[in-house]
Structure formats: C-alpha cells, structure tokens
Structure 1
Amino acid sequence: MIAKSPVPGRVKTRLTPPCTPGQAAALAEAALADTLTTLDLVPAGRRVLVLDGAVGPWLPSGWQVVPQSGGGLDERLAAAFAHAAGIAPEAPALLVGMDTPQVDAALLAEPLAPAHRPGVDAWFGPAGDGGFWALGLARPTRRLAGRLLLGLPMSTPGTGQALLDRLGAEGLTVRRLPVLTDVDTFRDARQVAAEAPGSRFAARLRSIEVAPEMTG
C-alpha cells in the first residue's frame, strides 16, 4: 500500500473547500485506516506500507513500513514494486492506494487466490476518473516496474488506458478488477461513503457534514 500520513494541508487538498484542511486530513486518516483494515483480511505473505510521512496510531500491527522514494508518482510507484521484488522475488505483488476506502477484501482475495493466478500476469483496478486504484504483477521486477510506470502520465483521464497499453505492449495477460471511485472531490467522498456506509470513512464524513463550518 502506498500512502501519505494524514497531515492537514498535505492530504486531500481538493476537498478544501468545502472541508477545512483538518477535516480533509481526518477523512484521509479514516480512508487510510479502512484500507489497512481491509488489506489485513486479504491473505498475504507480507504487508508493506510505502509511506510519505510519519506512522500514526492508525497503523495496525504486522505491517512493514518503508519510506517513499523521491521523484514523481510514477517513480514512487515503480520504486515500491522494486522494493517488493527485492524482498520476495518469486511472489506476486499488489499495490493499492489510500483513496478507495470502500474496497472489499473479497474483491481482492478471490482474483489473487493461488487457484486463480495461473495464466494471469497482472491485475488492473480501474478508477472511475480514468486512473487506476490497483496494480498487481505476478512476477514483479525492477525492470518491469520501470517499463510500466516510469514516464506514465499521472492524474489524467487517460492514465489508466496508458498503463493498460503498456501492460499489453509487454505481452502481459491482465485480469481487470472492478471499477472503483477514488476520493478526490467532496462529491466523490459522498459517493464512496454511500457505497460503504459502515466504514470509518462514512462515519467521519457524517460528523463533518454536521460541523458548524460546513453548515453555517
């Protein structure tokens, strides 16, 4: 998982306004905690958090924390896969972010189960805005991660398709995961909360929406 520490003014800045920086950070922390809890339920040999910032009380036990590399998002994603390949060269690796707190453990566990891996080289989770929320590689290497991710245009409506094109150019068989909504805007936040009403994220959003600075 790749994430930022939920520090006001550094995360979810597109939620401000209508949120204050503190409220946006609170939503980010809830999304982070929800996603970590979900990933704890997905069978895995190891769990690695590639983190920009400091660890907080939201981190469950059993996670290895490594700092994000420098550079753009493309470089940081490629470095995360390179790290995974270094610690477990023969194991598949799945990378997700902190922007889809509605993700369900079964949605990941089923396609990534050993019985369903034969013939699959990569897993791709498209986002509704044209990006992607998950990328998995059956045989990750530093070289492959670089070829797939370095120079990839990030945060555009064509990012996901550009990645799919690169996966195809490498001759990889790709299994698509369901489309999910990334939380970028307040409208996105409301949609995601409606999809996961029992989540920490939904509860935090409900508390924010009745705060004086949101209703006054």
Structure 2
Amino acid sequence: MAKAPMLGRVKTRLGREVGLVEATRCYRAMLWALVRRLGSDPRWQTWLAVAPDSAAAHAAWPPGVGVLGQGGGDLGCRMQRLFDRMPPGPVLIVGSDIPDIARRDIAEGFRALGANDAVFGPACDGGYWLVGQRRRPRIVRMFEGVRWSGPHALEDTLANLEGLRVARLRMLEDVDDMESYRRWRRQPLARFRCSSSRGMISTKLHGM
C-alpha cells in the first residue's frame, strides 16, 4: 500500500530529522526498488494499492504491476478491503518501507499459507511488515479494534485470530526515524537505492 511520493505527504516523521526532500526521495527509492524486486517474479501477481485513490491513474508508478486505490478508512479497513477484493487465492500484503524484504520472504509467506490460515512478518516496533490470509474457506475479519502505529498492533490483530492457525516469518525493520535511516544508509547499495527509489504491495500467488 503506497502513498503517492509527494513532498510533505510521506515519511513526515523522518522528514523532521533528515528534511522533507530527503525523506521523500528515500521513500520513492525504497518503493521503486521493492517493486522491481517483487514485481518481476512470475510466481505471483503484484498489485500496488495506492493513496490517494486519484493517484492510481498517475503515470509515474512503476510499470508491470497492477495499480488500484486503497479506498477510505483506517489502515485496517484498507487492508481488509484488499483481502475482500483480490482475485481468488491466498493474498499477502507487505509494507514497502521495509528495505530488507526479499523474494524468499514472499515465497515463504505463500508456503506458510498452505498449512495456516494467516501469516505475519513481525516488525521491530510491535507491528508487522507482512500480513497474509489463505482466504479459504472464508475471508477472516482480522483488524477489529487494532491499535495502529504503536507497540500493540500485532498483538491486537492476533487476538482476532483465536482458534486459527497462524505462522510467523522473520522480524524486519522499517525506516521511520533517524536511527533506522542511518542503519539503512550503511547497508550495501543503500546509496544506490536512495538515489533510485514507500507503501504496501498486495500479491496473489498464481495457480493457487
């Protein structure tokens, strides 16, 4: 789920520390890099769910992926809408401000849904960088009462899945403040990523 990378509309918390221009540039760099990495894999279909909805028609989105608007409501409403509207089969939703997401993470997420009802990629701040549903025999309503943007997001979501089988992937970190930004900059190719290209991508596995 991606916000249109407009100055002052993305990464505002990071922007207070590194400047809005740099925060926007890095948001775009991470988003474009992630779409290139995941969108070219033939094992799944990649969609970019964007906000505002009017940005879905923007010509500057990376080519080769589906683009749709997120719709209204809080984060839970918007993610649930993706689970409800995607074509049949398992669906994963990931955050594109997590620069270490690899193709193997997506493959592992889909494999986990072969034996589980839901899967999560926990984040260091108590949230999650990935959430997925098998969507069989039904689509689960999993975001009621979740306290977003805090340390309880994963815990609250799991409370809605009592009695269901849930898998977890490895823990990853988003780039949201100066410390995480500096760690990201120290990674190999970080400067390249920042000069080339944040959000959420929904993926549906082919043949499932």
- Common topology (TM > 0.5): yes
- Residue segments in structure 2 that go unaligned for 5+ positions in a row: 197-208
- 1:18-33 residue pairs with structure 2 within 5 A? 18-33=17-32
Q: Aligned pair 1:139/2:131, yes or no?
A: no
Instruction: Flag the structure with higher strand content.
Output: 2
Quote the offset at 1:197 in angstroms: 1.8
Tell me if the contact between 2:185 and 2:191 (Cα under 8 Å) persists in the aligned partners: no
**Post-superposition CA distance 1:31-73 (Å, at most 9, x none):** 1112212222545442211101423535131x11111111111
Q: For 1:120 and 1:183, how far apart are their aligned partners in 2?
A: 29
Q: For 1:97 and 1:44, how far apart are their aligned partners in 2?
A: 19
Corresponding residue number in structure 1 for 2:176: 184
- Residue segments in structure 1 that go unaligned for 5+ positions in a row: 206-216
Q: For 1:190 and 1:58, how far apart are their aligned partners in 2?
A: 27
- 1:108-119 residue pairs with structure 2 within 5 A? 108-113=106-111, 117-119=113-115
Q: Aligned pair 1:35/2:34, yes or no?
A: yes
Q: Higher relative contact order by CA 8 Å / sep ≥ 6: 1 or 2? A: 2
Tell me if the contact between 2:119 and 2:166 (Cα under 8 Å) persists in the aligned partners: yes
- 1:56-95 residue pairs with structure 2 within 5 A? 57-61=60-64, 63-84=65-86, 88-89=87-88, 91-95=89-93
Tell me if the contact between 2:145 and 2:156 (Cα under 8 Å) persists in the aligned partners: no
Q: For 2:95 and 2:192, how far apart are their aligned partners in 1?
A: 15
Letter of the structure 1 residue corresponding to residue 133 of structure 2:
L
Instruction: Flag the structure with higher helix content.
Output: 1
Q: Aligned pair 1:127/2:123, yes or no?
A: yes
Q: For 2:23 and 2:137, how far apart are their aligned partners in 1?
A: 35
Indicate the percent of aligned positions where both proteins have the same amino acid. Answer: 35
Q: Structure 2 residue aligned with 1:158, among 152, 157, 169?
A: 152
CA RMSD of aligned residues (A): 2.4
Corresponding residue number in structure 2 for 1:214: none
Corresponding residue number in structure 2 for 1:104: 102
Quote the offset at 1:118 in angstroms: 3.2
